[in-house]
Amino acid sequence: MTQGLFDLRDCDANGRIGHFTVPRSNVVVETPALLPVINPKLQTISPSTLASKFGAQILITNSYIIHQDDHLHAESLEKGLHEFLDFPGAIMTDSGSFQLAEYGNVDVTTSEIIHFQNAIGSDIATPLDIPTPPDAPLETAQLDLETTFERLELSKSLVDGDMLISAPIQGSTHLDLREQAAKHAYALGFDVFPIGAAVPLLTQYRFKDVVDIIMATKRGLGFDAIVHLFGAGHPMMFALAVAAGCDLFDSAAYALYARRGSYLTTQGTKQLVDLDHFPCYCPVCSAYTPSELQNLSKLECESLLAEHNLYVSFGELKRIKVAIKEGNLLELVELRSASHPAMLDGCRALFQYSAQLERQDPSVKGTFFHISDLSPLRPEIVRHHNHLSRINIGTNVLLTTDIVPPFSTSNYSEILYVKPPFGPFPYSLSHTYPLTAEIPFNTDSISLKQAAVGISTIVSLHPETAFTFAHNNWPQTILETLSDDVKFINLSS
């Protein structure tokens, strides 16, 4: 890893705001960042407009398409990529791996495409890796990975200037392979780590698998590694992917969806022909009604739809940055989980990694808002349970869901308040984060289960202590999960 490329500014869960210094063009990109995909043969929105109108600091284009076209090849070599595309920010180039995955072969070698990317002035080059599709046999994924490693090492040896080289992480849906690939690439000193071959999973809405792969990749990388989710362009899943630890996204979706009359929202995709009103206040949606847009020429309509799609995508990234700053990124993820059942699967998968998320999650934030069934699974609960070992208690402890139980408590050596979903803690801590949590009046069973995990944790830490749990009509099924040695008092009876 090149030292000092990534400067962390804020973080929440695995999401972070950072400053990514791109040395070759001396541009600082604020992450999480969206790289609009520029097709050098068909520009729906020009790169200069992307910079001036949408604030794009970085984009991605395909060096293989440029390499294979005689005219584009010559012009990009003559002018250099930045003048050729007329873009003042950083430019990342892809290598043709996508074409390799789509068509089975490409007419270029690793050396040729790396030298070409360097010659045209790319800021971040990509080697010609082997994208292994999801669900490939383990042996195939391993063999592909060996070839990718050989090409990564070759690429690293070919260039010694200030062009960064990304190291695509492959491994299909084999999570151990993804983690090993990430460890290997990180040890080789690469700069940017795109998660490869995710497009089939994204297009099939397999967001759980996407989360599993991101989390496996993150386990293999150092904290300063910049992670790019290749092919992720739908704003619906940006919050989820950022919370899992992705810093960069590339979007061809804004243009591809516009071409077929599709209108992106953070809650999913809509068809222009189905809309009577625009659920958006961007300049396009403020100036036109859906029917007015449809009455324009096909090209005008496509261009304006693409603009809306970009406004929504960049807008979602701004919202995500605000959420990271305020410490409520996971609450935004919970909101987005309602966009589609597959998004709920993806968000549930992420919350299963609370212990992994907890390692980077700040210990103090604003108020913890319990807003969905996912809230009790957040990293703050895991951390609270981990910290229960710090509580000193006596030999005879009362655990109570009522702050002032309706009986004498003088016989107890210690009284711990039990608040779902956290579980037990001394009442004196109730004004500290996250125990100041705002929780719904009606407690759900997941919160009770999580609180019971906290009770079980403290009971197992103190085998010599007698515990009595005074609860407010908790279900028997949850009480049965606690040790037989715990005595119960039902405060509601």
Supply the minimum distance, in Å, between the C-beta of residue 273 and Zn ion: 16
The set of residues, in sequence order, having a beta carbon less than 8 Å from that of 404 and lying 6+ positions away, is none
Edge-to-edge order in the sheet of strand 58-62: 164-165, 124-125, 90-94, 58-62, 33-38, 248-251, 226-229, 192-195
Task: Give the residue with the Cβ less far from Zn ion, 17 or 304.
Answer: 304
Q: Which residues pair with 37 in a beta bridge?
A: 60
Residue owning tokens 């983690």: 179
Binding mask 299-338 toward Zn ion (x if CB under 5 A, else -) reads ---------x------------------------------
Q: Collapsing DSSP states into helix, strand and coil, what is residue 39?
A: strand
Measured N-to-C along each axis, helices 341-351 and 329-336 cross at an angle, to the nearest 10 degrees, of 150
Nearer to Zn ion, 178 or 308 (CB): 308
Task: Compute CA distances 345 → 51, 351, 371, whole Å.
Answer: 35, 10, 17
- On whether the CB atoms of residues 398 and 466 are closer than 8 A, the answer is no
Nearest to 33, CA basis, from 56, 3, 10, 61: 56
Shortest separation between residue 272's beta carbon and Zn ion, angstroms: 11
Q: Which of residues 79-118 bind Zn ion (CB under 5 A)?
A: none
Identity of the residue, 308 or 383, whose beta carbon is nearer to Zn ion in the bound complex = 308
Closer to Zn ion at the Cβ: 282 or 435? 282
Residues 6+ apart with CB under 8 A from 226: 5, 6, 18, 20, 31, 191, 192, 193, 247, 248
Which residues inside 406-435 make contact with Zn ion, applying CB under 5 A?
A: none
Closer residue to Zn ion in complex, CB, 280/478: 280
- Closer Cβ to Zn ion, 285 or 329, answer by number: 285
Q: How many residues sit in the footprint of Zn ion (CB under 5 A)? A: 4
Longest dimension (CA), the chain: 89
Q: How far is the CB of 320 from Zn ion (least distance, A)?
A: 18
Shortest distance (Å) from residue 279 CB to Zn ion: 8
Catalytic residue at 162?
no
> Least CB distance from residue 286 to Zn ion, whole Å?
8
CA pair distance 375, 167, nearest whole angstrom: 35
Closest CA to 216 of 197, 239, 189, 244: 244
Q: Contact, 219 vs 357, CB < 8 A? A: no
For residues 33 and 285, which CB has a smaller minimum distance to Zn ion in the complex? 285
Active-site position among 7, 12, 69, 94: 94
Do the Cβ atoms of 125 and 155 come closer than 8 Å?
yes
Which two structure tokens, joined as six digits, stand for 459? 């009971």
CA atoms within 13 A on the CB side of 451: 26
- The verdict on whether omega for the bond into residue 40 sits within 30 degrees of 0, i.e. cis, is no
Q: Of 131, 100, 99, 129, which is closest to residue 114 (Cα–Cα)?
A: 129
DSSP tag of 61 = E
Question: Which residues ranging from 64 to 83 are in contact with Zn ion (CB under 5 A)?
Answer: none
- CB 326 to Zn ion: min, Å: 24
Q: Which is nearer to Zn ion, 159 or 280 (CB)?
A: 280
Minimum distance from residue 292 beta carbon to Zn ion (Å):
13
CB 35 within 8 A of CB 60: yes
Pick out residues in 250-309 that bind Zn ion (CB under 5 A): 280, 282, 285, 308
Minimum distance between the CB of residue 368 and Zn ion, rounded to whole angstroms? 32
Show which residues are catalytic. 94
Which residues of this protein are in contact with Zn ion, per CB under 5 A?
A: 280, 282, 285, 308
